[in-house]
Amino acid sequence: MSGNLIEVRGVSKSFGGVVANKGVSIDVAEGGITGLIGPNGSGKTTLFNSIVGYHPIDEGSIQFKGREISKLRVPEIARLGLLRTFQQTRIYSKMDCMKNMLISVSHRDEGLGTMFGSMRDRETEEFAEELLEFVGLYQKRFLIAGELSFGQQKLLEFAMALMNRPEVLLLDEPTAGINPTLINGLIDRLKRANEQFGITLFVIEHNMRVIMNLADRISCLAHGELLATGTPDEIQNDPRVVDAYLGA
Ligand code: ADP
């Protein structure tokens, strides 16, 4: 047992002539918070898409708990407990928060497995309420989601992902567009989801202050290739990383 939930090895992915990832190898340690940084266009989202089965990779391997998943599709990978969120929120803006929470589970039942297939409706509702409480939206549970602030919508989306009890959650820029006060609340929730619920997190983040505070290991991509991996301290002081950002 390597202690890694995800092992990405030598992954390459091109779109036509554009090389988005080239020979990337990254570990996501079980129970940890791994950060993924890099300038715009360095291949971060492509790597996430490859891991969750959104598109096939050209080369390399991706293992989840020792099992090769690079040939599996999104629903099969989600069923194994590996979920992602998106840079743009994907909530149902005309429905209230509770409905959004409940729908995120029925979606899973339709296509994403049956881990909670036996859960009764009332239990599902109670779990949804607990999670809304956890993200600080319990009082707003009957409010139409489109009326929440952008930051609150992100918190709702995070709670919706937790409804599926993922083992690993891939978060694509969770703090993008959120005001500083809510950012601190979100960081706190992410840490608690990791510590209390034991969810392994793999996080793309542009905000350096956030990722340095949140992650225990960070990998940096540049031009589709892995530039460096290390602790937040090592990464912050790595001249190659500094150059990649200044040169971007
Ligand atoms: P990042 O997330 O680090 O900003 P991306 O993974 O989105 O980087 O993009 C890496 C490169 O791959 C970019 O040059 C981008 O234009 C290209 N790319 C990403 N997705 C596609 C796609 N579906 N079709 C064509 N090119 C793409």
The 168-172 sheet, strands edge to edge: 82-84, 168-172, 200-204, 33-37, 217-222, 225-230
The pLDDT of residue 244 is: 87
In contact, 50 and 70? CB cutoff 8 Å: yes
Cα(216)–Cα(198) distance, integer angstroms: 15
At 176 the pLDDT is 87
Residue 96 scores a pLDDT above 50: yes
Whether 41 is in the pocket of ligand 1, judged by its Cβ within 6 Å, is: yes
- Going from the Cα of 201 to the center of ligand 1, the distance in angstroms, rounded, reads 22
Cα of 86 vs centre of ligand 1, distance in Å, is 14
The average pLDDT across 155-181 equals 91
Q: Please report, in angstroms and rounded to a whole number, the separation of the first and last CA atoms in the chain.
A: 38
Measured by CA distance, the residue closest to atom 13 of ligand 1 is: 41
pLDDT band at 178 (very low <50, low <70, confident <90, very high): confident
Q: Whose CA is nearest to atom 12 of ligand 1?
A: 20
Q: What's the CATH number where 247 sits?
A: 3.40.50.300
Cβ–ligand 1 distance for 242 under 6 Å, the answer no
Q: Tell me how far apart the alpha carbons of residues 236 and 63 are, in angstroms, rounded to a whole number.
A: 28
Is 15 a pocket residue for ligand 1 (Cβ < 6 Å)?
yes
The single residue listed with the structure tokens 């505070």 is 213
| pLDDT range class, residue 246, cuts 50, 70, 90 | low
Domain co-membership, 157 together with 180: no
Residues 203 and 98 in one domain: no
Q: Do residues 46 and 57 make contact, with C-beta atoms less than 8 angstroms apart?
A: no
* Residue labelled with tokens 């992954």: 11
The model's confidence at residue 112, banded by pLDDT at 50, 70 and 90, is: very low
Is 86 inside a domain boundary?
A: no
For the chain, what is the domain count? Answer: 2
User: For the segment 125-140, what is each residue's pLDDT rounded down to a tens digit?
Assistant: 999 999 999 999 999 9
Answer yes or no: do 76 and 174 share one domain: yes
Distance CA 54, CA 73 (A): 7
70 and 1 housed in the same domain: yes
User: Which residue did the predictor score with more confidence, 9 or 122?
Assistant: 9
Residue located via tokens 């694509």: 172
Q: Ligand 1 test: best mutation among 11, 13, 15, 50, most atoms within 8 Å of CB? A: 15
Q: How far, in Å, CA of 167 to CA of 5, rounded?
A: 9
Q: What is the pLDDT of residues 18-72, one digit of tens each?
A: 999 999 999 999 999 999 999 999 999 999 999 999 999 999 999 999 999 999 9
The model's pTM = 0.91
Q: Are residues 175 and 157 in the same domain?
A: no
Give 47's DSSP letter: H
Contact 74, 52 (CB under 8 A): yes
Which residues constitute the domain of residue 54? 1-81+167-248
Give the Å distance between the CA of 41 and the centre of ligand 1. Answer: 6
